[in-house]
Amino acid sequence: MDMPAAAASFGTEALSANRFLSLLRKSFSAHAIFIAIVGSYFTAFCFLLRLRPDVPVSDLLVTSLGFLVIAGIFVPLSVFFIRFYHTARYVKPERPIPALLKDMKQFLINRKRMANGLPIVLIMMICMYVFSNIKSSIPMLNPYSWDVYFSDLDRTLHFGAQPWEWLQPLLGYGPITLLLNFNYNLWFLVTWLVWVYFAFADKPSELRTRFFLGFFALWIIVGSLLAVGFSSVGPCFFGRLGLSPDPFAGLMAYLHSVNEVLPIWALPLQDELWQGYIDQSVVIKGISAMPSMHNGSALLYALAGYQVSRFAGRILALHAFLVFIGSIHLGWHYAVDSYLAWALTLVIWFAVLPIARWWHSTAAQGNFDRALAAGA
């Protein structure tokens, strides 16, 4: 390449970079509402640490780098599944693999999507940092004390028997337990798929804003504030907490018997979480039952999914239902953990709608919308 051509190429690249940085600045302004919410969450956490210096806290830099490493794996993986569905359902090419790879490349180099999504990644990183620290500190902030009450409430609401006892004749077979455990673990991937789908949308939308308002409200209010207030360990740890009689001993005995034949991944994870509870030096820790974030967030994904398409909503609703059944059958949650989480999720989902509509009428959002439309 001759010197004039090289200079022209460099100038074009510099101009493109400047346009992207301009777009990114407008994007951060358009995401100010989420920055304010999560920033307040982080500030409140710092204030808590001043009041309770005995509460252990993980290193922000190390945790953030860990999140970015995980994001480096799960964001492309999520994009793969999202674009695979798009290609298979709508494009239907003769050569699907080359078409999918081309589609993914175009998706990942789309500067509008990147400008729209990168602020959410950073906001998410801070939110999950605070959430993980609060969850692991629950027994120090408020020692576990609600399990007997929730166990008794479950029995009262379910006609004198624990919910797992009602479900056992239907679900008490090894292959069914394995499938429920698989779906329960799938929640982690579903979480990434849904938030990545909305984060890297080609343009802002009222639905996208509504989803993230609901998402952050759920993790802050339900996953942090109420989790500390209703400090509880859940059925799988009922006996380990020294509570007696243990109405879940039969359930745990069944799960261990199945685990001798088929892998029930919930059991080793429960062991690791308990070890983290009794030994603060263990990395994996954070036991919390009420309210159930698994169930609340799964319902949120289904509600948002129905706004995207009926098919997505039905798939996510089925996933949410199986998460609910699995949370009881695997000993993670009392049924009332889910009932409260569902009720709060519905309240949040409808409460944030007028806020999302208002935000889309603001100047910051309008400036970003116009910049995206202009491609600059």
Confidence of residue 376 (pLDDT cuts 50, 70, 90): low
pLDDT on residue 11 = 41
Indicate whether 21 pLDDT > 90.
Answer: no
CA-nearest of 326, 313, 7 to 182 is 326
Average pLDDT over residues 90-119: 84
| 340-344: average pLDDT | 97
- What is the per-residue pLDDT for 163? 97
- Quote the pTM value: 0.92
- Going by pLDDT thresholds of 50, 70 and 90, the confidence category of residue 219 is very high
Give the residue-averaged pLDDT of 219-223.
Answer: 96
pLDDT at 15: 44
Q: At residue 284, does pLDDT exceed 80?
A: no
Contacts of 317 (CB under 8 A, 6+ apart): 302, 305, 306
| Domain ranges for the chain | 9-374
pLDDT of the residue at 279: 79
Dump pLDDT digits (tens) for 41-67. 999 999 999 999 988 888 889 988 998
13, HSE (Cβ side, Cα atoms, 13 Å): 6
Mean residue pLDDT of the chain comes to: 90
Angle separating helix axes 266-278 and 249-259, nearest 10 degrees: 120
pLDDT value at residue 300: 98
Instruction: Report residue 112 as tokens.
Output: 């509008």
Of 254-258, 277-281, 289-293, minimum mean pLDDT range: 277-281
